[in-house]
Amino acid sequence: MIWTRIVNFLLGRRPAPPPERVALVVPAHAGPLIRRASELPEDAHAAPLPRFRSSAADASRPARSDRQLDQRRQKLQRAFTPSQPVRDERRFAGRKETLVSLIRAVEEQNLHAVIFGDRGMGKTSMLHVFSRLAREARYIVRYTSCSETSEFDPIFRAITADIPLLYHADFDPTSEEAERGGTLADLLPEQTLTPVRISESLARLSGTRVLIMLDEFDRVQSIDFKRSIAELIKNLSDQSIPVQIVIAGVAGNLNELLEHIPSIRRNVAGIPVTGMADDEVRELIHMGEGASDLTFTDEARDDVVNAAQGSPYVAGLVAQYAASDALDRDSTEVETRDVHSGITRALGEVKVRMGPASQLHLRVLLADVPPEAVAPLAQEGLRNFGMVHGGSPSDTKRAMVIARAVEAGVLAADQSHGGRDFRFTDDSVALYLWLAACLV
């Protein structure tokens, strides 16, 4: 018996299911009776526990009778990944022109680059795909995700620990140190690293080009860190050192991301990552269809495109939920009803992630104004970095909705353009209102 189990385990076979559980039921009108659990009347069961719907085991292992459904779900999880950036270029939709601008800036103009755009627009995905292309072209690429506590010294020690001594002008590739796998970090002084010290070290590089990616730069709190990066960029540019820095972060424009370090504007290329064109969102869905073996009807695809308003995150989220609901119906074709239930689930997720104040603002507004009346403002906000134009004074309906939204705390006057504009106090509120209106 134990040997059969071991052999089954080694062959990846699952043990035979245990005999169906039996339950002892004592109906009011009869004596004791033994029945199978599956024969119990509906109301005799406690609510069943929810279950995972697919197996975490490798999809290639022989599994249960519903293995096909399992595999479809696993494929779907990889097809649309709203909670993760894209790493695989086969899942990277659109953005070709942006990618070309980035490659040209780095390769031909020897510039450093700053990728900026709204949250969830695909900056990190762009960095990952760009990194892959650069590695293919034999660049040394080092990716770092910044945080509130990022500091210059540890980050650059870690980065230089990935640059082999092989590329140091003072070390022969056959030298003992290079052959032992030494890195640039081995040569750094013990004192705290400064931009000058690190540029002196990087200046000794030869026979390679290095790309340093600093993602989520908007999260950095330390102005010192930002200034040090600016100084480093200046030194690298002035001394033509073959090391380029690519920064990515949430910002409406280049200045916002570089507010404390305006001195480097001439040394960097600004690469905006704006909303995707509808055709790019269609491409994203099409790639997901190929990867999941599911198809979207034309109407369902249009509904996802409309819900996304150019956001790859929203497109992926709604498409994934909708496709999962189609699988629940045992169908490989995603229809508009699935997209509607997908949007409903996405709404729940957006709301949960909102802060309590924003939830309150939303409740107050929706008690007074239906989502479809706010939809044009929400759509404008999603397409325009949260900004909404005051509109013409003769458009009284719009003015009234804006006034209500301001009262509720959903919109606030923005003084930056003469006080005629408004902005959503929380961009997830704009998304919520838009998605809610898509269901009407």
> Minimal CB distance to ligand ATP: which residue?
122
Number of residues in contact with ligand ATP, rule: CB under 6 A?
23
Looking at beta carbons only, is 198 or 273 nearer to Mg ion? 273
One symbol per residue from 73 to 102: x for binding ligand ATP (CB under 6 A), - otherwise; what is it?
--------xx-xxx----xxxxx-------
> Minimal CB distance to Mg ion: which residue?
124
Looking at beta carbons only, is 126 or 202 nearer to ligand ATP? 126
Binding positions for ligand ATP, 336-365, rule CB under 6 A: none
Looking at beta carbons only, is 105 or 248 nearer to ligand ATP? 248
List contacts with Mg ion (CB under 5 A). Answer: 123-124
One symbol per residue from 207 to 246: x for binding ligand ATP (CB under 6 A), - otherwise; what is it?
---------x------------------------------
Looking at beta carbons only, is 316 or 391 nearer to ligand ATP? 316
Q: Which does 243 bind (CB under 5 to 8 A by kind): ligand ATP, Mg ion, none?
A: none
Which of 195, 270, 316, 371 contacts ligand ATP by CB under 6 A? 316
386 binds ligand ATP (CB under 6 A): no
Q: Min. distance of Cβ 384 from Mg ion in angstroms? A: 20
Binding positions for ligand ATP, 255-314, rule CB under 6 A: 284, 312-313
Q: Min. distance of Cβ 168 from ligand ATP in angstroms? A: 33
Which residues have CB under 8 Å from 188's CB, separation 6+? 157, 160, 197, 198, 201
Q: Which does 316 bind (CB under 5 to 8 A by kind): Mg ion, ligand ATP, none?
A: ligand ATP
One symbol per residue from 118 to 137: x for binding ligand ATP (CB under 6 A), - otherwise; what is it?
-xxxxxxx------------
Q: Min. distance of Cβ 276 from ligand ATP in angstroms? A: 7
Provide the binding-site residues for ligand ATP, judged by CB under 6 A.
Answer: 81-82, 84-86, 91-95, 119-125, 216, 250, 284, 312-313, 316
